Amino acid sequence: MATISLPRLRARIEALARFGALPGGGVTRSAWSRPHEEARTWLLDEMRAAGLEPWVDAAGNVFGGLGLRELDAGRPAVLTGSHIDTVPEGGILDGALGVLAGLEALHVIQETGAAHTRPLAVAAWSDEEGRYGSLFGSRAFCGMLEVARLSEMAAADGERLVDAMARAGFDALRAPEAQAPAGACAAYVELHIEQGPRLEEAGVPIGVVEAIVGVRRTRVIFIGQADHAGTTPMERRRDGFLAAAEFALKARDLVVKRGSGRSVTNFGVVHVHPGVSNIVPARGELVHEMREPDPAVLDRLARECAALARRVAKRRQVQVEFRPLSATAPAPCAPRVQAIIETAAGELGLGTQRLHSAAGHDAQNLAAITDAGMIFIPSKGGRSHRVDEMSDWEAIERGGNVLLHTLLALAN
């Protein structure tokens, strides 16, 4: 039975970690940044050295093909991959593992001449972490880009996507050309670190993802009345911030009590206007995020939270407005791919557990155009999006071998 080379995979993981490396460990490698573009060049060289046919599409996605030079509707390919961009002060495995284990799997198939009737390709999807637009490259590939928004997309610091991509030698307005021909993908499977504690705590080496959560972000704005913070009697105040604060606490309880048990919510952005200590806040603004793998539950929670916000606003005599910011639908993984991953793990003597992904991944976009699945390996301490994110090398080797045999099964 063919197996991956852990020393070769480890050497590539450590080599990629040098692009954007931070002095205290970890890495900052934002999409389209200089370290990211240097990593792209390195990755293309590694693909070539592994006997793959590399190419880059109009959205900056990097591909290494085995048995194909470009995606072709006439010869559907089995795809794997992930991303090589990172969050600021991120770890060395998020995304990198899926790309480099995919490269290693194809390298092994290439050098052993393992039979595969379908062509294979490994992809590194651009801007997965969303410095300019989350899951950008896979959205372009799957035909999901909002073309009209491309020229206004920008990072939190105001840098425009068109400028960042131009610096890296790409034309953002042409990114929609990256859309894959219909029928060009036979299946997609992505290996990723779990980024949470469930597998480690259960002592299970391989996670089989059933669904990826949908994420909904809404700006909720409570509009009251600015007043003198000293002279206005307490009972006459229409405080936009206190309404927002009450809503945040009650929405948290609502999601915990009325959600599926997998539902989570967060208020990570709060603005108070005018933000002066001697003025009663006229406005309190929140960004309300919710995640849940079941679309019906996510819809219901969104309706119930909106009704809650209206009740809070009414009682506090303020207005409330909702501005939807983004909404991704929950993505179920294909039962066929889940079964193949379980069979591959079983043949390697590895236990599996089905779970949902509470983080977004490129696989959720691929799930809309082909049979998609994900393989998780345990994250040490459940840590991710931080510099000490890590998994045991043995866990990485197991995940790589499950990926290899899943790809072979999908390609035959």
- In the complex, the residues that contact Zn ion under the rule CB under 5 A are 94-95
Please identify, using beta-carbon distances, which residue of 35 and 119 lies nearer to Zn ion: 35
CB of 275 to Zn ion, least distance (A): 35
CB 61 within 8 A of CB 141: yes
Tokens 């610091």, residue located: 157
CB 206 within 8 A of CB 341: yes
Please identify, using beta-carbon distances, which residue of 37 and 94 lies nearer to Zn ion: 94
Element (DSSP H or E) covering residue 101: helix 96-112
**Three-class DSSP category at 301:** helix
Please identify, using beta-carbon distances, which residue of 195 and 406 lies nearer to Zn ion: 195
CB 11 within 8 A of CB 69: no
Please identify, using beta-carbon distances, which residue of 54 and 90 lies nearer to Zn ion: 90
Please identify, using beta-carbon distances, which residue of 47 and 99 lies nearer to Zn ion: 99
CB of 359 to Zn ion, least distance (A): 7
Residue 206, CB half-sphere, CA atoms under 13 Å: how many? 28
CB of 101 to Zn ion, least distance (A): 13
> 99-102: which pairs have CB atoms within 8 A and are 24 or more residues apart?
99/43, 99/123, 99/124, 100/9, 100/12, 100/13, 100/16, 101/4, 101/9, 101/191, 101/396, 101/399, 101/400, 101/403, 102/191, 102/403, 102/407
CB of 336 to Zn ion, least distance (A): 24
CB of 128 to Zn ion, least distance (A): 6
CB of 94 to Zn ion, least distance (A): 4
CB 383 within 8 A of CB 376: no
Question: Which spans in 191-334 are helix H?
Answer: 198-202, 240-258, 295-315
CB of 91 to Zn ion, least distance (A): 10
Calpha distance 410→207 (Å, rounded): 18
Please identify, using beta-carbon distances, which residue of 292 and 362 lies nearer to Zn ion: 362
Calpha distance 33→289 (Å, rounded): 28
CB of 123 to Zn ion, least distance (A): 13
Say which amino acid occupies 122.
Answer: V
* Dihedral pair phi/psi, residue 97, rounded to 5°: -60, -50
CB 101 within 8 A of CB 393: no
Please identify, using beta-carbon distances, which residue of 65 and 360 lies nearer to Zn ion: 360
Please identify, using beta-carbon distances, which residue of 361 and 405 lies nearer to Zn ion: 361
Distance of CA 409 to the CA centre of its chain: 25
CB of 381 to Zn ion, least distance (A): 17
Please identify, using beta-carbon distances, which residue of 95 and 240 lies nearer to Zn ion: 95
